[in-house]
Structure 1
Amino acid sequence: MAGELSSVCSKAIGDAKDDLNHLSSEIWKNPELAFQETHAHNVLTDFLENKGFKVERNYIKKTGFRATYGSGDGEGVHVCVMCEYDALPSLGHAAGRNLSSEASVAAALGIQAAIKQQQKLGKVTVLGTPATEGGGGKLDMINEGCFDGIDFAMLAQPLNENIAAPVTLNILRVRVNYSGKAAHASTQPWEGKNALDAAVACYSNVALMRQQIKPTWKINGIITNGGLKPNIIPEETEMLFYLRAPEQTDLMFLQQRATACFVAAAKATGCEVNFEFLDKPYHNVVHNSVLANLYKKHAEALGLQFSTDEEVLQCSTGSTDVGNVSHVVPCVYPAFDIKTQAPIHTQAFTEASSAPEAQQPVLQCAQAMAMTALEVMQQSTLKSDIKNEFETIDAVHTPVIAGTNPFP
């Protein structure tokens, strides 16, 4: 029966490959920013409903959704396949979320086909999670209890390597505002207090600080408002920084260091500073090794070759709200190679995410995800192993401080 169900699972994905490609293309051609993914929401929910899923549109958030198939009586295993579909400003799908959505939906089709053959396997939920790029749609869903009763969750990210358990970082976002005093920049500059000088000094402070922080810590920033006209001393400026680190304790220390940079720039220029550490910090992904090893086994059997380069394996792939989910339920979050050398978040990666060459690996990844779920559904000991590891690993960290000016 196990082999028969695997064949049914693979066939369902293969039979839908043209429709899945079209789905991915529709999302790619219509890039939408966080919480604005109306077209993606509609095409995904229509597709899943046409495939026999029970669909709840506008779920929790306007562009969120939930699609389910299978028994809801508690028997078997409840698998959640997450879907991401927001794009980046100006670059479009430079994170390849059109492919991520395609992989998730394809995996769900495979799992659904197996459940049709054997209802006692359990249930599959496709959870549409908007606003991964900073909006934290998954955090809203966690807070609403959307992951209650789920045994494990899955999602895959397009990349230029195959990695079963990629490293991700905790991230904290902070908005920094400097207030000075306007004056004519040529006639009476001494009457002004230059908020742009404060922003530039802050940026320089942070740049100098990078020399004395750990290589795994990251801090990136931009000036979002630098003034109005060259002949007016800027009275107000705004900056946005991302702080990242592998562990929460590291991130709190980096937060303190960055705060000192913000305050010092204000003191040096005579300006006032106000900074706010924004809500919805993302946590690092706690990969469940049972799930990651199962995924890798099935992916290799399908022809995917995984990187063995330690430098690649230890390099961060960024930050994601999948990390927050992984602290609530066991997760597998592999990266799959879409046959490009282009780095993520570039125009070249946007183009690669719509290329025909990406279709084979995305379907192989989807099959591996579906086979992973199917094996857990068929072997009760695996479900116990996954749960035991999740409960053993201390996934609870000291929360990062959010709010205004937490350090005087």
Structure 2
Amino acid sequence: MEIIVEKMEELRQISKEIWKNPELGYEEKYAHKIITDFLKNNGFHVEESYLHPTGFRASFGTTTDRRESGGGGGDKGSSHACVMVEYDALPEIGHASGRNLVTESGLAAAIVIKSSIERGETKGKVSVLGCPGHEGNGGKVDAIKKKFFEDIDFAVSAQPYTSDISTPLMLTIMRLCVTYKGKQAHASAHPWEGRNALDAAVLCYNNISVLRQQLKPLMQIHGIITKGGVKPNIIPGETEMEFYLRAKDHVDMAVLQQRANGAFVAAAKATGCEIEFNFQEKPYSNLTSNPTLAKLYEKNAEKYGISFTRNCEELQIPVGSTDVGNVSHVIPTILPTFSIGTSARNHTEAFAEAAGSDAAHECAVNVGKALAATAIDVMSDKNLQMQMKEDFTSVNSASMTAWH
């Protein structure tokens, strides 16, 4: 881990610069430049603007012919590890998800793995995938469709949070826009000629609120009215609503979609409006953490002073949703959460402030070390490679096939 000592200040500065200059998804030009410059300067082969203008992939090392070896872990094969980094911010509240720290921990992990390969201690290859537009845009889903993960054996990343959890609960999510189309009319002179699309939206919201009482614990629906009309004396002819549907897995999501659809359509029928659905094309799958990787990560993280929560109630609280979930249905994957020394919750101004602190930097670097140690353990042990693959097959065969 000597390389971390050498690069500590540089990693801190990268994290700080991303934090001070928040950029929305697919607009992360500054972050893209400073991250790719760092990787180039540290001996990685970098392909800029991979899949998206602000995406990239970087690699170091080699693997033997995968067709002969059957992939990583074979007698003739060597492992290929992927470290995923994210760097987009949220509207108005900046890095309230701490993705500057996702990048910092990922870069720390990548340079340690590279150093181990370079010194001949580890055989194989490490790739870094730059994932822009995590907040709803699904950059990793695009990477899956472009077969980026086909020759990769496992993937790692980490997410800042209020506590350290090796296998966080992350839900399947479906995003959609619901549009109600009615008929405009003068609200005072001839209201009977109108069909009120705002009434449809209000009824829809109330329908969903009532439905929530009857849903299973991990089924969630969040919604807002994004377009409600133009003027009080004009009966709204069109309204729009944005909804997020979340569930434990794809089976429950199918049930939730069916029940939510009843609430959406009922509002249209009651008001005489037409209804249109526009689904976001890249839904996120639930995270299926690889047990072998998760156990190794816990063991390594504890060496760096990371203490994992054992609070059962906290472990049952969903952390959110992520396109890392989609990756976890394709190859063995972990996405542990890590504390940054604050009790503030994600997606708040207070968490954004904490994400720029020195304490958060120290946490991110330690997580990077633990991720690297986990990857090196697997890359150096054929038995662990086999166990990781067996766990992947076992866990994922019990779930619905992910949408890629």
TM-score (norm 2): 0.94
Show the counterpart of 2:326.
324
1:71 aligned onto 2:55: no
Deviation of 1:399 after TM superposition, in Å, equals 6.2
Amino acid at match of 2:42: K
Show the counterpart of 2:70.
none
Partner of 2:148, secondary structure, is: coil
- Contact map agreement 1:286 1:395 (CA 8 A) in 2: no
Show the counterpart of 1:58.
49
Deviation of 1:98 after TM superposition, in Å, equals 0.4
Note the alpha carbon deviations across 1:322-348, whole angstroms, 9 max, x for none.
000001110011000000111101111
Show the counterpart of 1:32.
23
Show the counterpart of 2:74.
none
Equivalent of 2:355, from 353, 356, 368?
Answer: 353
Note the alpha carbon deviations across 1:155-195, whole angstroms, 9 max, x for none.
00000100011010000111100001111222222221111
Note the alpha carbon deviations across 1:360-393, whole angstroms, 9 max, x for none.
1111101100111111122111111111111222
CA pair 120-300 structure 1, distance change in 2 beyond 3 A: closer
Show the counterpart of 2:116.
114
Show the counterpart of 2:388.
386
Note the alpha carbon deviations across 1:87-124, whole angstroms, 9 max, x for none.
11111111100000100001001111111100751111
Show the counterpart of 1:405.
none
**Which range moved further: 321-330 or 24-33?**
24-33
Unaligned runs of 5+ residues in structure 2 are: 66-76
Show the counterpart of 1:374.
376
**Which range moved further: 82-91 or 150-159?**
82-91
Note the alpha carbon deviations across 1:193-250, whole angstroms, 9 max, x for none.
1111110110010001000111211100111111111121111100110000012111
Partner of 1:187, secondary structure, is: coil
Show the counterpart of 1:95.
97
Q: How much is the aligned-residue C-alpha RMSD, in angstroms?
A: 1.5
- Distance in 1 (alpha carbons) for counterparts of 2:270 and 2:54: 45
- Distance in 2 (alpha carbons) for counterparts of 1:305 and 1:135: 33
- Distance in 2 (alpha carbons) for counterparts of 1:186 and 1:70: 73
Amino acid at match of 1:351: E
Amino acid at match of 2:24: L
- Distance in 1 (alpha carbons) for counterparts of 2:29 and 2:361: 24
Alignment identity in percent? 50
Deviation of 1:401 after TM superposition, in Å, equals 9.3
- Distance in 2 (alpha carbons) for counterparts of 1:59 and 1:176: 33
Deviation of 1:351 after TM superposition, in Å, equals 0.6
**Which range moved further: 381-390 or 72-81?**
72-81
Show the counterpart of 2:152.
150
Map 1:273-288 onto structure 2 (within 5 A). Answer: 273-288=275-290
Show the counterpart of 1:16.
7
- Contact map agreement 1:168 1:318 (CA 8 A) in 2: yes
Amino acid at match of 2:330: V
Partner of 1:36, secondary structure, is: coil
Unaligned runs of 5+ residues in structure 1 are: 1-9, 403-408
Deviation of 1:317 after TM superposition, in Å, equals 0.4
Partner of 2:113, secondary structure, is: helix
Q: Kindly tell me the number of residue pairs found equivalent between the two proteins.
A: 393
Amino acid at match of 1:268: A
- Distance in 1 (alpha carbons) for counterparts of 2:400 and 2:43: 43
